[in-house]
A and B are shown apart, each in its own frame.
Chain A
Amino acid sequence: MSGDFNIVGRSVVRQDAYAKVTGQAKFADDYKFPGMLFGVMVRTDVSHALIHSIDYSGLLDYPEVTVCDINDIRGSRKVGVVTADQPVFCYEKIVTPGDVICMLVGADESQLKLLTAKVKTELEELPLITDPEKALDPDATFIHPDKKSNLIVHYPLRKGDVEKGFHESKHVIEQKYTTPLIEHAYLEPEAVTAVPIEGRGGVRIIGSIQNPHTTRRIVAEVLNFPLTKVRVVQAELGGAFGGKDDLMNIISARAAIAAIKTRRPVKVRYTREESVVESYKRHPYIMKYKVGFNDDGIIKAMKIDILADGGAYASMSPFVTWRTVVQATGPYEIENVHTDVRAVYTNNPYTGAMRGFGSPQPIFAQESLMDEIAEIIGVSPYEIRKINGVKPGSITASGHKLRDHDVNLLSVLERAERETNFTERHKECSRSANTKFQTSQKFRGSGFILKKDEMLDNRDIIKKGIGLAVSLRGCSLGAEGIDAAAAYLSVQKDGSAYLISGLAENGQGLRTTFSIIAAEVLGISPEHIYYLEQDTGIIADSGPTVASRSTIMGGSAVKNAAEIIKKRFEEMLLTYWNIKSKDQLLFKNNRVYEQSRSISFSELCSLAYSKGLNMSAIGWFKGPSVHWDEEKGQGAAYFTYVYGCQVAEVSANLLTGEIFVDRIVAVHDPGKIINLMGAKGQVFGGVTQGAGYALWEGITTYNGNIRENNFDQILIPTSKDIGEIESIFLEGEDIYGAWGAKSLGEPTLELTAAAIANAVKNATGLRYFNLPLNPEEILLSRKLSPNDLSRGSTN
């Protein structure tokens, strides 16, 4: 079938487009149930304290209000995707400002909000840990005393002998990089409704849930119910980017507790401010790199020490930082590597899965470093990557030999270089960089007042730059996770079909992609496939939709299901048409052909139905086993990889420090593209979010409290903030995935900030080590965060 597709690789309109453009798509908060109550959270105003008592006497006058707290929990009091360290309702300690001590339930949501002030707590404040570098100090207070340490996880990786490598190197440089806390900023705030199932003693949950099966497990644990009594349905999801997992599990558990207690549907919906204060974010990293290399550009040794701020709870930290340890050296073949990645507990907002999943941070560091190496030995950024980049048969830092797929790193790099005329333009820009920047320096901080026309369009002040970044990315969860996925396909007698996969739509267009895969196998139009609502009652647990695993895992399972059914059809046709071999059968254009005869797909189905053929199948895909040696950090970490290269072209305003991204050229090898339209959308989305990461975004905290709590201060890119984005795909072959379809959503994001940082260096002649590269960073090389809470608009 290779190379000859009917639908795969074309542009197909999203399945859900009609519902979404008409406002009919039902998001979590659009559901209403008769007799529905609301749940409102009660929080404290401290970041770290012991809870001595909670006093509800202020609520005595309000019998219509029900309180839910720790005493209503029959099962697990603490939950977590990996480590059960997060209380559903706090009862011993408050460890971060988002913590909830109880929930008020009643019919009038506004009244409940007022009444939260009537809940009084007696707290004993504890010393705060907000600096991750102090979390492991011997005298540091334990955030979770039962853990007896603030270390969430430590991954070492050892390959060769770094000391020997440094010894053999002519040049050794050391640098430190930091990245900020990032809010997912999905536009739809968290919302969920729990509805008691009458007569059967279970609960049905419908909400903005990223991973319905994980939510089901957590809710069942908390209620002490069997899994089957908790049925989780996913509402249309208004964006997640990795962010609607842990917190949604907990909010769902709270709603479920209240629904069971009041025997009424209970809805919990967050305001933007609540969403920001309680949701988890992307890990801030502190990264120290030491690298040894010679004049030929070959990197001899790399020593890496990375510290991730896990915040108050472990969440996905163990998975996220594991990806970091595998990919910390970047897509380079290096003889001697010594890496340590640690995640620690602090009183800051907790951090977990976010698009990128542990890769945007080290890529910023390692790609900045590569440019520095290139500059020292006097070659171009392109050249240095060619020298060290992985090729077919290369061995990664974890000792994994790359084969069984096209190792396309150098191909994407070369294509990007050609497309942008990179080397030449890089040289050109860097020639004038220093002098221009110095001229503008004399204005800085001298009280010089700009005239109107000097701010903008002044050729002397606007300086152009170009930069690039490359990556390799392991697909799916890798050696740390259980990797399998299910799909259910049921063809009806009129030729239409139901489809559902255990991996959930997160707004990225997964339903459309999966429908195309099934349609391609059966030779029918994707419109004939009806994608079912995501419901834990009808499909098997397939693990989380994270870590770029949906297309490769779920897509393979869907293909498997469709192939099972196709085979049954083929066998039936052998007898029906009395033919010997099925090689001549062609499923295409809603028909099945055999030489000169043919039958329409719907007739075929009605025939099959009358013959009692089983037209439903469950497809399954289990990732090949991967192996990991915990002590040395060695093994075939992921079963396959994807490659990408992005080039950023920027204009730097040397007076205001403002950086504008003129153009990004993104060259990716995501394996086979299933839906071209969806793929392009992923590139726009990833690159724009990556540009936000590079230039504006960043949540700052003061004593654990978040300063920026709504979009007036969380600066996410608007349509005017970024120039042209060009996507180019090089579809490499792979033995895994449906026809070799792998992943794209995350690779598109992880590279952009690094490419922009390199372009800024090219423009200004100065290198910056701390994201975001906002004007204060560019002009003053530091962040201007006021030290008090009053900066927040609603505080």
Chain B
Amino acid sequence: MKEEKEKKEISRREFLGKAGTGVAGSYFILSSLKQAEAVAKENPLQPPETYFGNIQVQLTVNGVKHKVRVHTNTTLVELLRDRLSLTGTKVVCNHGECGGCTVVIDKKAVYSCQMLALDADGKDVTTIEGLLKGEELHKVQQAFIDKDGLQCGFCTPGQIMSAYALLLNNPDPSEEEIKTAMAGNICRCSAYPKIKESVAEAARLLKA
């Protein structure tokens, strides 16, 4: 507790100095310090450019190219939710424990709360919003509806992205492989049996 207090008390200038060096350091230290700049007092409704950071990254999200400024410690999920308004991706633990923030990068399921926006530079990111093509549901989404693989739905975007990543790499997973691939996604409503069924169903639908 004590130590954390001290961390918090580092002055703004000190912090900006550190951030300016571009050393990402440990996310856990920086997380309590991020975005320490004050909003411009004259017009608080319009935050200044630098409010969002001064490092430019370029990435593709759901097929759309974005050029945005971020802080050294902005996480990918913050970039997606707060800057790009893609709120389908959820923050549950912000700790790499639950899979609620799962997105897909290079065919891999990634916890977006544990990836710095900087590290997503040049990457091609798919989020839950990217699965829908116009009005048409992706087969994985359809399977989750058909097999009722959800209750409250808060874990669902993460579950679907994990399933999507699994099926990209392994179109014909065994029950055990499904279990393992989905083990990183917590569902407190515990729709697990139906989630497993949904993933198996999605594999079937995709093959058909």
B-contact bits for A105-117, CB 8 A (1 contact / 0 none)? 0111111011011
Chain A positions 486-511 with a Cβ under 8 Å from a chain B Cβ = 506-509
Report the Cα distance A34→B194, complex, angstroms: 39
- Looking at A169-177, A212-220, A233-241, A769-777, the stretch in contact with chain B turns out to be A233-241
Proximity string of chain A (757-795) to chain B, C-beta cutoff 8 Å, 1 when within and 0 when not: 000000000000000000000000000000001000111
Cβ of B70 under 8 Å from chain A:
no
> Does A719 contact B44, Cβ atoms closer than 8 Å?
no
B189 to A239, Cβ gap below 8 A? yes
- Nearest CB in chain B to that of A689: its residue: B190
User: Are A108 and B35 in contact (CB-based, < 8 A)?
Assistant: yes
Complex contact B186–A187 (CB within 8 A)? yes
Of the listed stretches B104-112, B117-125, B127-135, B165-173, name the one at the interface; the rest are far from the partner chain: B127-135
Please measure, in the bound complex, the distance between the C-alpha atom of A111 and the C-alpha atom of B160, giving whole angstroms. 34
Among residues of A, the one whose C-beta sits closest to the C-beta of B192 is A719
> Is the Cβ of A239 less than 8 Å from the Cβ of B152?
yes
Q: Is A10 an interface residue (CB 8 A)?
A: no
CA separation between A34 and B47, bound complex, in Å? 12
Taking a contact as CB atoms closer than 8 A, the residue among B44, B129, B157 that contacts A107 in the complex is: B44
Q: Which of A717, A725, A795 contacts B1 (CB 8 A)?
A: A795
Q: Which residues of A contact B87 (CB under 8 A)?
A: 23, 26-27, 29-30
Q: Report chain A residues within 8 Å CB of B38.
A: 62, 64, 108, 111
Interface majority SS (helix, strand, loop, mixed), chain B: loop
**Chain A residues within 8 Å of chain B by Cβ, number:** 76
Partner of A720, one of B1, B100, B160, B183: B183
What residues on B are CB-neighbors of A109 within 8 Å?
A: 35
**Across the interface, do A23 and B144 meet the contact criterion of CB distance under 8 Å?**
no
B54 contacts A by Cβ under 8 Å = no
The verdict on A199 contacting chain B, using a C-beta distance below 8 Å, is: no
For residues 683 through 706 of chain A, which have their beta carbon under 8 Å from a beta carbon of chain B?
A: 684-685, 687-689
8 Å CB contact of B145 from A21, A239, A684, A688? A21
CA distance A188 to B193 in the complex (A): 21
A789 to B9, CA, bound (A): 21
Knowing A116-B8, A685-B191, A719-B195, the reply to whether A272 touches B92 (Cβ < 8 A) is yes
Query: Which of A24, A108, A272, A711 lies in contact with B37, CB distance below 8 A?
Result: A108
Task: Please indicate the chain B residues that have their CB under 8 angstroms from the CB of A793 in the complex.
Answer: 95
Q: By the criterion CB–CB under 8 Å, are A239 and B132 in contact?
A: no
If A23-B157, A113-B32, A238-B152 touch, whether A106 touches B8 (CB-CB below 8 Å) is no
Residues in A578-608 with C-beta less than 8 Å from chain B: none
- The answer to whether A719 touches B196, judged by C-beta atoms less than 8 angstroms apart, is yes
- B177 near A: Cβ within 8 Å? no
B97 and A710 form a contact (CB under 8 A): yes
Out of A239, A720, A789, which one reaches B154, CB within 8 Å?
A239
- Kindly name the residue among B28, B85, B98 whose own CB sees the greatest number of chain A CB atoms within 10 A: B98
Is B72 among interface residues, defined by CB-CB distance under 8 A? no
Bound-complex Cα distance A322 to B95 (A): 38
A185 within 8 A of B: yes
| Nearest-CB residue, chain B, relative to A690 | B190
Beta-carbon contact of B144 and A21 below 8 Å: yes
Distance in angstroms between the alpha carbons of A711 and B155 in the assembled complex: 14
Determine whether B93 belongs to the interface, using a CB cutoff of 8 Å to chain A: yes
Q: Known contacts A114-B36, A117-B9, A272-B95; is A35 also within 8 Å of B151 by CB? A: no
Q: How far is the CA of A186 from the CA of B45 in the complex (A)?
A: 33
8 A–B contact pairs at CB < 8 A?
A20-B153, A110-B35, A117-B5, A187-B100, A187-B186, A680-B148, A680-B194, A688-B192
Task: Kindly list 10 other residue pairs between chains A and B, CB separation below 8 angstroms, not including A25-B153, A716-B186.
Answer: A17-B145, A23-B128, A29-B91, A108-B51, A187-B90, A187-B188, A238-B152, A711-B93, A719-B182, A719-B183
List of 5 A-B pairs having minimum Cβ-Cβ separation, nearest first: A23-B88, A507-B152, A238-B154, A20-B153, A688-B190
